[in-house]
């Protein structure tokens, strides 16, 4: 089995993928040999997708003060 990420390329009225040569060294594949492909889109997570989605029960300022207090106690020894 060969697994890798690749971009779809326009190929006439269709789309296609190219299998990198270094990946082909792992399997003895030949031209016109049938293979099975499973296409899974790669999703990228962007900050704008998660910004404002955290439901914090404690105000941010209070949370930051707690973190500072905990860090001070750990590093002041």
Q: What is the DSSP string of 7-71?
A: --EEETTEEE----HHHHTTS---TT--------PPP---HHHHTT----SS-HHHHHHHHHHHH
Does the pLDDT of residue 67 top 80, yes or no?
yes
Q: Is residue 22 part of a domain?
A: yes
Q: Is residue 3 part of a domain?
A: no
Residue span of the structural domain in which 25 resides:
9-40+47-75
pTM for the complete prediction?
0.48
Tell me: the pLDDT tens digits for 16-46?
A: 999 888 988 888 888 999 999 998 888 887 7
Looking at the structure of the chain, the number of domains it has is 1
Does the pLDDT of residue 64 top 70, yes or no?
yes
Q: Is residue 20 part of a domain?
A: yes
């Amino acid at each position: 089995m060969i697994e890798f990420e690749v971009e779809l390329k326009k190929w006439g009225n269709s789309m296609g993928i190219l299998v990198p040569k270094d990946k082909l060294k792992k399997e003895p594949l030949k031209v016109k040999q049938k293979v099975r492909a499973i296409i899974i889109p790669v999703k990228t997570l962007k900050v704008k997708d998660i910004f404002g989605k955290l439901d914090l029960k404690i105000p941010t300022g209070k949370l930051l003060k707690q973190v500072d207090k905990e860090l001070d106690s750990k590093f002041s020894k």
